[in-house]
Every structure is written in C-alpha cells, then in structure tokens.
Amino acid sequence: MNPRRIWSVFLVNLRDFVRDKGGLFFTFLFPIILMLLFGFIFSESDNVTYDIYLQDMDQTPMSQNLTVSLKGVRAFEVHVVGPDRALDDLVEEEKAGFIIVIPEGYQERLEENLQGNISVPVNLTLHMDRSQSSSQVKYSILASVVGQLNKVLTNTTDVMGLSEGGTISPDDFEYIEFFIPGVIGLSVMSGAVFGTIFGDTELKKKGIFRKLSTTPITRGEWILSTMLFQLFLAAITAIVILVVGWIVFGARLHMNPIAALIIIFEAFAFTGLSMLVVRFVKDAQAAAALANAITFPMMFLSGSFFDVEAMPAFIQTIAKALPLYYVNQALREAMIFNDTISAASYMSVIAIFAVIVFLLGVKLTTWKQD
C-alpha cells in the first residue's frame, strides 16, 4: 500500500466530483429534501391542532374572556369570525366544520347564574359537521374545557385527578430524532452504492480501469482509496443532515465516537459491496438497475423511517438479514440513547461485513478483461 497513490486517487475523484453539479445535488441535497419532507409530515402529526370557528355575538368582557380561554387550548386553532358573518357563508367559503357561537346576552345570563339562582345554563351553540371524524374529538375537547370552566367558576373542588407518572420511553425523544439517524444511514448507503456503481461503470467504459491495470497502482490501493473517498462524502452528508436537523427541527442527538465509527464502517461496507457486484454491470442502465436493486428493499425494510419492532414478524426477520438494519439500530442506540455498548454490538455486524467485502474485493475484483 502506497499512501501517495491512495491520496492521488482520492484527489482525482474529489476534483471530478466537486465539479459535477448533478452529483453534488444528489449527494447532499437529496438527503436534506428527504429529511425536510418526512420531518414535517411526521413531526406535525405529533401535536395535531384542530380548526374551530368561533363567532362571538355577545361582544362583552366575559365573552372575550371565553374566547381567550379557547385560544389558550393547545389543540385548538381558533378562527374568530365577526358577528355579522352568516354561518352558511362560513361553511361554504371556509369549509368550516365546527362552529361555536357565543349567544347574545351570554355575559348577562352567566352573571345571573353565578349569583346563585341557576335556572338554565347559558348554552354555547354548536354547529358541527358530523360526517367529519375530527368533530367528535373537537366536541370532547370542548366539553372538557367547558367542564373545567364550570368548575372554576363555581369553585368546586376535584375529588379525582391525573398525575404524570413518568414517560414510557427511557429517554424522551421526538419522531425527528428517531428519523435523523435513519436518514443518515440511508443517505450514506445510497451515496456509497450509487457513487461506487456509477463511478466504476463510467471508469470501465472510459478504459480508465484498463489503463490503471498497466500502471503500478494495486487493486488494494484503488479499493481503499475509493472507500476513503466515499467515507469523506458520507461524513459530509452526515454533518449536513445533523446541522439541518438541529437548525430546522431542533433535534438534539448525541454525537459520540461510536456514531462516527458506525458511519465509517457503513461507508466502507457499502462501497466494498458495490465494488464486488459492479463487475457484472455492462452499461449505465444496468448500473442504475443494480444500484436500485440494492438500495430499494433496504430503504423500506431496514427501519429507516419506522421502527422495525412495529412491523409484522416476517418483515422483522427479513430486516435482520439486511446490513442497513444493523446500521440503523446501531446509530439510534448511539445517537438517541447514547448507549455505546448496545450500539457497538449492532455495529460489530456491519464492521465484520465491511472487512469481508474489502478482502473479497481485493481478491475478486479485477481490472483485467477476460
């Protein structure tokens, strides 16, 4: 192994890569887009808000008070409409499915009731679209708000309550924090697989491999250099994802040496694997088919987006046969739970895999033609 030659190959790959706009786009922008897309879709569903419409016909301090109280309910997105607005209009134009009307004389009657001579409670009028499943949820929330208000206003004391007895997951984390290690694992894998398979196919087509085979560089040097180059791209990809995750979603993940090590082994493993299979590829079309065939099943079956534990048993069995599963598990143990021991045990699978493909690569890959 000659470090100078390894460095030269690294440098020439780097130059060719950074001057390629398309390559840059796919390597770095793709993971970001993926993360933004999934990040927004799923982190929103964690704290859902419901649209409700509120029409205040009373316009008194007490009705204002109620409005403010409803606005304070986190689950409600309150749209206040003026007293002149026709309700039919609201349904037509704004597709309002849940309208609360504070009736005229609300304050007056409420005060009367509070003075002790309760005859009938002041009713808020509800107009709701029962065909919408969310209406029931909105109704329940509203009912509990009203109940709460009644208690406060009439000064009754609770005989029963709820208290938080601690969270169920060992470390409180949000979906995005679960998702980011998955995006890193996925992006590093597809970067390495696509980069290596397309790169090698191109070099083969250009005659560069035939040329290299007549120079003193060895296959081991070439493979190592390509692995290092892919690792370099993987490192940048991971950093970009983490920074975007932190800035956009405020994701807090543990950065530890074991996480870095997992990414190193992952980049090596998938680059090595790709170099092994790329020799069966004749042209760019076949290269694309092969790269997709490797990455596609792993993308969905290795728990990049969802926890494998939540999937059917047979999928779990398949997942455990896929290298990316161990990357995802290891990265989550390291980055979410900061559990080095657990991460290392998952990582050992991918590390062994990386060593095997490197050795097989040195032994089996050849620049020679038949």
Partner 1 sequence: MVGQLSIGPQQGSSSGSKPSEYVIVIRDLYKTYGKVNAVDGISLRIRKGEVFAFLGPNGAGKTTTVEIIEGIRTPTKGSIQMLGVDIGRGTNKVKHRIGVLPQEFSSFDRVTVTETISFFSSLYGNKRGAKELMKLLNIEEHAKKQYQKLSGGLKQRVGIAVSLVNDPEIIFLDEPTTGLDPASRQEVWEVIRKLKARGRTVFLTTHYMEEAQELADHVAIINRGKIIAEGTVDELIENHGSGLVLTFTGIDGKLVPFLNGMGCGQVQVKGSQAVMNLKNKDQILGILELVKGSGLSYRAMNVRRSNLEEVFLKLTGKALKDEEGRQ
Residues that bind ligand ADP (CB under 6 A): 369-370
Interatomic CA distance for residues 83 and 55, integer angstroms: 6
Output the smallest distance, CB 210 to ligand ADP, in A.
12
Strand partners, 102: 56
DSSP string covering 270-312, please? HHHHHHHHGGG--SHHHHHHHHHHHHHHHHHHTTSSS-GGGS-
Q: Which of 211, 252, 282, 363 binds partner 1 (CB under 8 A)?
A: 211
Contact segment (CB under 8 A) with partner 1 among 102-110, 207-215, 291-299, 310-318 equals 207-215
Q: Which of 73, 87, 145, 208 binds partner 1 (CB under 8 A)?
A: 208
Output the smallest distance, CB 194 to ligand ADP, in A.
27
Torsion of CA 237, 239, 244, 250, to 10 degrees: 140
Nearer to ligand ADP, 71 or 282 (CB): 282
Please list, in sequence order, all residues whose beta carbon lies within 8 angstroms of the beta carbon of residue 325, skipping any fewer than 6 positions away.
298, 301, 302, 303, 308, 319
Output the smallest distance, CB 191 to ligand ADP, in A.
32
Interatomic CA distance for residues 316 and 325, integer angstroms: 10
207 binds, among ligand ADP, partner 1, none (CB under 5 to 8 A by kind): partner 1
Nearer to ligand ADP, 46 or 370 (CB): 370
164 binds, among partner 1, ligand ADP, none (CB under 5 to 8 A by kind): none
Nearer to ligand ADP, 205 or 252 (CB): 205
Residues present in the chain in total: 370
Contact segment (CB under 8 A) with partner 1 among 41-49, 62-70, 76-84, 209-217 equals 209-217
Interatomic CA distance for residues 92 and 90, integer angstroms: 5
Nearer to ligand ADP, 88 or 370 (CB): 370
**Where does residue 282 rank: exposed (0-12), middle (13-18), buried (19+ CB within 10 A)?**
exposed
The answer to whether the CB of 278 falls within 8 A of the CB of 200 is yes
Nearer to partner 1, 287 or 308 (CB): 287
Residues that bind partner 1 (CB under 8 A): 4-5, 8-9, 11-12, 15-16, 19-20, 206-208, 210-217, 367-370
